[in-house]
Structure 1
Amino acid sequence: MFRTALRNVLAHKARLLMTVLAVTLGVAFVCGTLVFAESSSAAHRAAASKNFAGIALTVTPKEPPPGEATGSGGNALDAPLVRKLAALPGVAGVRPSVDGSATLNAADGSPLRGGKAWANLAGAYVPGEDGTDERYPLVAGRAPAHADELVVDRGSAAAGHLRVGDVVTLATDGPVLKKRLVGIVDTRDSRVTAGGTLALFDTATAQRLFSSPGHFTSIDLTAAHGTDPVALSTEVDAVLPADRAQATSGAAQAAQQATNVDLMTRGYQKMPKIFAGAALFIGSFLIVNTFTMLVSRRTREIALLRAIGATRRQVVRSVLWEAALVGLAASAAGFVLGLGVASALPGLLSTSQDPLPQGPLVIGARPVVAALGVGVGVTVLAAWLPSRRAAKVAPIEALRSAEQPPTPAASRARGIVGLVLLLAGAGLLVSLTGAKDASEANLQNAMSGCALLVAAMIALAPLLAGPVIRLGGRLPGRLGVGGRLARENALRDPRRTAATASVLMVSTALVAGLAVIGNSTGQALDRQAADGLSADYVIEARTSMAALDPAAPKRVADVPGVRTAAAVADSTLFTGGSVRSISGVDPATLHQVMKLDFTSGSADRIGPGRIAVSDTVAREQGLRTGSAVKARIGPGQDFKDYTVVGVYRDNPLAQDVLGARAEVQHDSFRPGTVQRLLVRTDGAVSEATAARLRTATGNSPLVQVKDREELVAEAGGTVSELLTLMYGLLAIGAVISLLGIVNTLAMSVAERTREIGVLRAIGMDRAGVRRMIRVEAVTVAAFGTLLGLAGGMFGAWAVGSLAGGAMTRYTLAPPWGTLALLALLSLVTGALAAAVPARRAAALSPLEAVGQT
């Protein structure tokens, strides 16, 4: 039977090619998304990770005692300490560092990778005895030697079109700086190579910017070979001032960093993996459909084997061997193709403003296991089910007809299973309509409900095919005999029609559901941002840990046409077990720049020890006007009592909590600073006014000047970026759907060779045959699209309630234009998929076709 299976694989090369193509595409889709998920996650981790390889200990300054200001007295990391550490036995090398952050402007004045401020590194170029810093080999120019000089890494120079000799505008925090670029370096720092930037200054300049004159931010020690780590740590601790410095092992730093990076990049890991699950489903479903049709087509061949003495077990074993051989070959091809998909996705899904971090492909065990599981496991399973069914048919009965319609009992069982799944999925989704938030439990229930709904649609599709196609049956009939025959072909075998349409149905449901949720959420965020803002412009630092130039508020207020420039200090409020964002405001000017809808209390009573909270905070912590809450602002402060003087509807500008600006500034991470300016002008918003405001901020790369329209667009930006990524990944699913329909139609044409020959013999021309096949494909595509749109919109309606519980402005807003375009593209997909099978059918010779068995 193994030899029989091998001959069957090689005997029908066209059938083999289509089958291998189906499995290859399924494997490529799954492996590509898995490799992309792991590679993207690794690139994001690299962009936020420092390499601690080879570092035995790192000496860092301790926080000064309470009440003592941070300064040179609080930082003991100076040149004499470096010399003491270098003289210790067991220390092979000492590398002092001055680390900070700097955001650069490109040659055209735009911020260079400003959206990744956490990866915009800066520091000191610390030369060794040979006059070079081994961490940063020079590739052009020279090292910085004066306060007005800097060097940048090779990648940043290329991305910003910077050349040696250019004057570069940058900001470390606050005022804008201008330095002359004197050199370009290379670096192995993964934070830079994965999409960040690097700016290096001479040691004295870096110390003034990021530490204090004569002091470093850290000192890395490498150990001599054979040195006991514990003994080295003891010797280092002995020379350190215990109240001013501490030593941490490289292993401990790496472990802590791994935890922090995992928290930072968790979202980047989850999203592609969720889609990989969808890829696994779509790819597996395509393979199952292909092999179900393939084995069904070979019913007569299987019956012949039974008639000449093969047992049922031998027949099934033969088919399984054939499936395993095909699956193994296609798995290898699909895995290679999947690597190509994973390589292409970062470039396709990156934008100029938010590029995905670049890094090498990470090929773990999961993509390999998935390739074998989908390519071999799913293929064998897909062949096993129909082969058992075909082997049970009596040889004489199977030789009479190649088609074995399902029995009434099987149809009833399928209908019952489909209805049970439908009721379970719909019931779970409907139960979420009263949800108050998008908690993890609610999200899991929503995903489970959607999965049950999709399974129900697949189970019920063969039973729905007849009624739905008959409902629109008049349209194909108007295309003449070919149209009527196309409709009857689609109705003749509902299982085949449903199998052909199911992949397209699933893809359409996913895209339609995402489009409805995304559009509704985006509009809600737009309304929320627009309704909450009275100011014409918002000037803000790019990161919450940065601050505006202290002189910027005065310069902005002096810009002609500016009526009000209200400063806002942003910080963090720690209360109970939660962390909230707090905005420090001046109640006297608040109403001029921000629209707040208070459900109780007012903003007028905000002051020291008195705060206002958003609806969400009030609901989650059980607060109301008059409530007392223990909290602290920023780090290192003691918890104290605050009184809630008002509750307002969620407002993205006000954030979670409103407090008095003086109190927030005093206790925040950056004492005395402001992070935002809300600007009200006398005239209309114009580019000229925006340009004057940018000039007032010194064109700092750390600062953004946004008008109302830009702020509203930014409110839905995260949703738009998420949808763009999902649409890009789902585009691969659309390609799978297209080729799946091609595959199914090609097999359908091969099944109906004699039928097409008879039609040609009685007078149907080639154009009529092509029309019949194309109309059949469009009919099947329309059926899948209709079910997909219905399922996707129902799921979006139910899941959207989670967003409605979190956003008071949320209402269901289907993007009718997008949905219409989706329906049109689905029909075009069906028409394109029919091109090759229709041409093949029309090329059949009538006499040869009739003579085939």
Structure 2
Amino acid sequence: MVQLDSGTWPAGPDQVVVDAHTASKLHLKPGSTLRVALATGARGFVVTGTIGFGGAGDIAGLSVVGFPSGTAGRLLGTAGAYAAVEAAPAAGLDSAVLQQHQMLRSPRRVAGTTGTLAVSVATVSVATVSVATVSIVAALAAAVSASDAAEVQRSLHADFVVSTSPQATLDTALARRIAAIPGVTGTAAIPCGIVKFPGDSERACGIDPATFERYADLHVTRGSRADLTAGTIAVSALSAARNGWHLGQTVAATFPAGGTENLRVVALFDDEQVASAYLIPAADYAQWFPASLQGDYLILITAAAGKSSPVHAALAVLLSDYPQAFLDDKAGFIHRTVAGIDLLMTMMTGLLALSLLIGLLSLTTSLALSVLERTRETGLLRAIGAEARQIKALIRADAIVAGLLAAAVPARRAARMNVLESLAAQ
């Protein structure tokens, strides 16, 4: 008894079914093309299904090809009966089998392509993980930027801020010239320099404790700003925790001109965005730093009510003689404070996008070279009857197999790596 095992029965003049044993032996499946040698010549037929015989895959080891009755009568002259024919798979038309043989025939090419793909896939994987990491870091950076902006907004009382880059200073005479501008009610010049503390060097700034509160609020959490006198230092709570310092502790500080001094911590504060995390009295700064480092880093300016616009215009004219100086109002100074974080995130995002692009290009190039290396093979396949869609399927199969090897083999090796040996190597 004949039964249909898979696919459908043939309905057209170019369709056939074959026995399951022949289909397995010749790697045929529904959609494959079978070459049948007839008395009138060889023809190609599309396989629509496989048949069995009461549980057997063939009849006495013979290949069985079934045609529609009308087609059988026209081709064999014996409709409803049988005749001997010769069947073979159409050469070059089973892309999966061709791909298997091609990869076995040229293992060096496959190994080279797979190795390159492994590096490319690793690059893309690392870039993808990095992008996810940067997304998290970007969210944290945005939170930090917002926190810093809120801190400056809360702490800064000055109407205008004149600042410079960390590598430059402002002439000490500039603060006096600014104070002489009509409408300016006060100025606070803040010099800053590098001080060596135990373990690291930090930037310390000199302030006048008696007047600084009019221009910025330090938000002292422990101790008192009024205790900032000769031989003392105020430190941000964050820096104190990082250094392991506490209120009342004495720390050694080495200055460029004054040698090493023992400073007592008299205040811990929250706001370190306006000036610095380390503040000493302005009189001590003038004593312990040489004349060449006495330039100001910040000048905080307050203006009379209703005089902000003319004061800003006068400041802009005055600062035209100081190319290293930046003039900002309160909003501008907040933006300048957080601009460094934004720039860093932009650079990191750009570098990661570049690495991802390089990985994708290497993947594309590897596969393209793999195709170019087989130009003669592809031409031969087209010459013996392979269609364009079958060549495309061949290339896709090559890419899929090589890609799977490139991803699976390193992953398997990494998963089986001995943890103790890895730690020992470190």
Q: Aligned runs of 1:123-272 on 2, under 5 Å?
A: none
> What RMSD over aligned residues (CA atoms) do the two structures have, in Å?
4.1
1:548 is matched with 170
Give, in angstroms, the shift of residue 647 of structure 1.
0.7
Structure 1 letter corresponding to 2:107:
V
Q: What does the per-residue CA deviation read over 1:464-499, in whole Å, with 9 as the maximum and x for residues that have no partner?
A: xxxxxxxxxxxxxxxxxxxxxxxxxxxxxxxxxxx9
Q: Say if 2:217 and 2:271, in contact at 8 Å, map to a contact too.
A: no
Q: What does the per-residue CA deviation read over 1:439-459, in whole Å, with 9 as the maximum and x for residues that have no partner?
A: xxxxxxxxxxxxxxxx9xx9x
Tell me, yes or no, if structure 1 residue 568 matches structure 2 residue 190: yes
Structure 2 letter corresponding to 1:644:
V
Q: 1:539 aligns with which of 162, 166, 179?
A: 162
Give, in angstroms, the shift of residue 304 of structure 1.
4.4
Q: Say if 1:536 and 1:685, in contact at 8 Å, map to a contact too.
A: no
Q: In the superposition, relative to structure 1, how do residues 503 and 549 fare at CA in structure 2: closer, same or farther (>3 Å)?
A: closer
Give, in angstroms, the shift of residue 547 of structure 1.
3.6
Q: Which has the higher strand share?
A: 2
- In the alignment, the residues of structure 2 paired with residue 631 and residue 320 of structure 1 have an alpha-carbon distance, to the nearest angstrom, of 66
2:80 is matched with none
Structure 2 letter corresponding to 1:378:
T
Task: Give the secondary-structure state (helix, strand or coil) at the position aligned to 2:328.
Answer: strand
Give, in angstroms, the shift of residue 622 of structure 1.
2.7
Task: Give the secondary-structure state (helix, strand or coil) at the position aligned to 1:530.
Answer: helix
Give, in angstroms, the shift of residue 714 of structure 1.
1.6
Tell me, yes or no, if structure 1 residue 525 matches structure 2 residue 148: yes
Task: Give the secondary-structure state (helix, strand or coil) at the position aligned to 2:321.
Answer: coil
- In the alignment, the residues of structure 1 paired with residue 126 and residue 233 of structure 2 have an alpha-carbon distance, to the nearest angstrom, of 54
- In the alignment, the residues of structure 1 paired with residue 118 and residue 217 of structure 2 have an alpha-carbon distance, to the nearest angstrom, of 63
Structure 1 letter corresponding to 2:116:
V
Structure 1 letter corresponding to 2:279:
L
- In the alignment, the residues of structure 1 paired with residue 285 and residue 293 of structure 2 have an alpha-carbon distance, to the nearest angstrom, of 8
Task: Give the secondary-structure state (helix, strand or coil) at the position aligned to 1:607.
Answer: coil
- In the alignment, the residues of structure 1 paired with residue 232 and residue 166 of structure 2 have an alpha-carbon distance, to the nearest angstrom, of 26
Q: Say if 1:529 and 1:712, in contact at 8 Å, map to a contact too.
A: yes
- In the alignment, the residues of structure 1 paired with residue 151 and residue 286 of structure 2 have an alpha-carbon distance, to the nearest angstrom, of 27
Structure 2 letter corresponding to 1:528:
E
Q: In the superposition, relative to structure 1, how do residues 577 and 736 fare at CA in structure 2: closer, same or farther (>3 Å)?
A: closer
- In the alignment, the residues of structure 2 paired with residue 659 and residue 717 of structure 1 have an alpha-carbon distance, to the nearest angstrom, of 27
Give, in angstroms, the shift of residue 646 of structure 1.
0.7
2:138 is matched with 515
Q: In the superposition, relative to structure 1, how do residues 615 and 317 fare at CA in structure 2: closer, same or farther (>3 Å)?
A: farther
Tell me, yes or no, if structure 1 residue 728 matches structure 2 residue 323: no
2:116 is matched with 378
1:690 is matched with 312
Q: What does the per-residue CA deviation read over 1:360-385, in whole Å, with 9 as the maximum and x for residues that have no partner?
A: xxxxxxxxxxxxxxxx84348899xx
- In the alignment, the residues of structure 2 paired with residue 524 and residue 559 of structure 1 have an alpha-carbon distance, to the nearest angstrom, of 34
- In the alignment, the residues of structure 2 paired with residue 685 and residue 733 of structure 1 have an alpha-carbon distance, to the nearest angstrom, of 52
Give, in angstroms, the shift of residue 609 of structure 1.
0.7
- In the alignment, the residues of structure 2 paired with residue 714 and residue 739 of structure 1 have an alpha-carbon distance, to the nearest angstrom, of 38
Q: Say if 2:120 and 2:359, in contact at 8 Å, map to a contact too.
A: no
1:319 is matched with 107
Give, in angstroms, the shift of residue 699 of structure 1.
2.7
- In the alignment, the residues of structure 2 paired with residue 662 and residue 380 of structure 1 have an alpha-carbon distance, to the nearest angstrom, of 64
Structure 1's unaligned 5+ residue stretches are 1-296, 306-314, 328-375, 384-454, 459-498, 758-853
Give, in angstroms, the shift of residue 689 of structure 1.
2.9
Give, in angstroms, the shift of residue 728 of structure 1.
2.4
Q: TM-score, normalised by structure 1?
A: 0.29
Q: Say if 2:197 and 2:253, in contact at 8 Å, map to a contact too.
A: yes
Structure 1 letter corresponding to 2:135:
A
Give, in angstroms, the shift of residue 520 of structure 1.
2.1
Q: Say if 1:613 and 1:658, in contact at 8 Å, map to a contact too.
A: yes
Tell me, yes or no, if structure 1 residue 653 matches structure 2 residue 274: yes
Give, in angstroms, the shift of residue 505 of structure 1.
5.5
- In the alignment, the residues of structure 2 paired with residue 298 and residue 584 of structure 1 have an alpha-carbon distance, to the nearest angstrom, of 79
Structure 1 letter corresponding to 2:158:
A
Q: In the superposition, relative to structure 1, how do residues 561 and 752 fare at CA in structure 2: closer, same or farther (>3 Å)?
A: farther
Tell me, yes or no, if structure 1 residue 606 matches structure 2 residue 403: no
Q: What does the per-residue CA deviation read over 1:735-767, in whole Å, with 9 as the maximum and x for residues that have no partner?
A: 5688799999x9xxxx9958x99xxxxxxxxxx
Q: What does the per-residue CA deviation read over 1:139-161, in whole Å, with 9 as the maximum and x for residues that have no partner?
A: xxxxxxxxxxxxxxxxxxxxxxx
Q: Aligned runs of 1:772-851 on 2, under 5 Å?
A: none
- In the alignment, the residues of structure 2 paired with residue 503 and residue 512 of structure 1 have an alpha-carbon distance, to the nearest angstrom, of 14
Q: Say if 2:223 and 2:268, in contact at 8 Å, map to a contact too.
A: yes
Task: Give the secondary-structure state (helix, strand or coil) at the position aligned to 1:565.
Answer: strand
- In the alignment, the residues of structure 2 paired with residue 642 and residue 606 of structure 1 have an alpha-carbon distance, to the nearest angstrom, of 10
Q: Say if 2:183 and 2:307, in contact at 8 Å, map to a contact too.
A: no
Q: In the superposition, relative to structure 1, how do residues 516 and 323 fare at CA in structure 2: closer, same or farther (>3 Å)?
A: same
Q: What does the per-residue CA deviation read over 1:223-257, in whole Å, with 9 as the maximum and x for residues that have no partner?
A: xxxxxxxxxxxxxxxxxxxxxxxxxxxxxxxxxxx
1:667 is matched with 288
- In the alignment, the residues of structure 1 paired with residue 118 and residue 171 of structure 2 have an alpha-carbon distance, to the nearest angstrom, of 66
Q: In the superposition, relative to structure 1, how do residues 730 and 687 fare at CA in structure 2: closer, same or farther (>3 Å)?
A: farther
Give, in angstroms, the shift of residue 580 of structure 1.
1.9
1:333 is matched with none
Give, in angstroms, the shift of residue 539 of structure 1.
1.4
Q: In the superposition, relative to structure 1, how do residues 531 and 318 fare at CA in structure 2: closer, same or farther (>3 Å)?
A: same
Give, in angstroms, the shift of residue 299 of structure 1.
4.6
Q: What does the per-residue CA deviation read over 1:373-406, in whole Å, with 9 as the maximum and x for residues that have no partner?
A: xxx84348899xxxxxxxxxxxxxxxxxxxxxxx
Aligned length in residues: 282
Structure 1 letter corresponding to 2:144:
T
Q: Say if 2:160 and 2:328, in contact at 8 Å, map to a contact too.
A: yes
- In the alignment, the residues of structure 2 paired with residue 535 and residue 518 of structure 1 have an alpha-carbon distance, to the nearest angstrom, of 26
Task: Give the secondary-structure state (helix, strand or coil) at the position aligned to 2:142.
Answer: helix
Q: In the superposition, relative to structure 1, how do residues 645 and 317 fare at CA in structure 2: closer, same or farther (>3 Å)?
A: farther
Q: 1:558 aligns with which of 175, 180, 193?
A: 180
Tell me, yes or no, if structure 1 residue 707 matches structure 2 residue 326: no
Q: Say if 1:535 and 1:594, in contact at 8 Å, map to a contact too.
A: yes
Tell me, yes or no, if structure 1 residue 300 matches structure 2 residue 300: no
Tell me, yes or no, if structure 1 residue 640 matches structure 2 residue 378: no
Structure 1 letter corresponding to 2:281:
A
- In the alignment, the residues of structure 1 paired with residue 118 and residue 349 of structure 2 have an alpha-carbon distance, to the nearest angstrom, of 31
- In the alignment, the residues of structure 2 paired with residue 382 and residue 696 of structure 1 have an alpha-carbon distance, to the nearest angstrom, of 57
- In the alignment, the residues of structure 2 paired with residue 533 and residue 726 of structure 1 have an alpha-carbon distance, to the nearest angstrom, of 31
Q: Say if 1:507 and 1:734, in contact at 8 Å, map to a contact too.
A: no
- In the alignment, the residues of structure 1 paired with residue 283 and residue 179 of structure 2 have an alpha-carbon distance, to the nearest angstrom, of 19
1:678 is matched with 300
Task: Give the secondary-structure state (helix, strand or coil) at the position aligned to 1:647.
Answer: strand
Q: TM-score, normalised by structure 2?
A: 0.56
Give, in angstroms, the shift of residue 697 of structure 1.
4.0
Structure 2's unaligned 5+ residue stretches are 1-93, 369-386, 394-426
Q: Identity percentage over the alignment? A: 26
Q: Say if 1:685 and 1:707, in contact at 8 Å, map to a contact too.
A: no
Structure 2 letter corresponding to 1:653:
V
Tell me, yes or no, if structure 1 residue 628 matches structure 2 residue 250: yes
- In the alignment, the residues of structure 2 paired with residue 707 and residue 588 of structure 1 have an alpha-carbon distance, to the nearest angstrom, of 24
Task: Give the secondary-structure state (helix, strand or coil) at the position aligned to 1:625.
Answer: coil
The structure having more radius of gyration, on CA atoms, is 2
Q: Which has the higher helix share?
A: 1
- In the alignment, the residues of structure 1 paired with residue 297 and residue 145 of structure 2 have an alpha-carbon distance, to the nearest angstrom, of 26
Q: Aligned runs of 1:255-404 on 2, under 5 Å?
A: 299-304=96-101, 316=104, 318-322=106-110, 324=112, 377-379=115-117
- In the alignment, the residues of structure 2 paired with residue 738 and residue 525 of structure 1 have an alpha-carbon distance, to the nearest angstrom, of 38
Q: In the superposition, relative to structure 1, how do residues 604 and 520 fare at CA in structure 2: closer, same or farther (>3 Å)?
A: same
Q: In the superposition, relative to structure 1, how do residues 563 and 381 fare at CA in structure 2: closer, same or farther (>3 Å)?
A: closer
Q: Aligned runs of 1:410-559 on 2, under 5 Å?
A: 506=129, 509-510=132-133, 512-544=135-167, 546-559=168-181
Give, in angstroms, the shift of residue 516 of structure 1.
1.8
Q: In the superposition, relative to structure 1, how do residues 378 and 578 fare at CA in structure 2: closer, same or farther (>3 Å)?
A: same
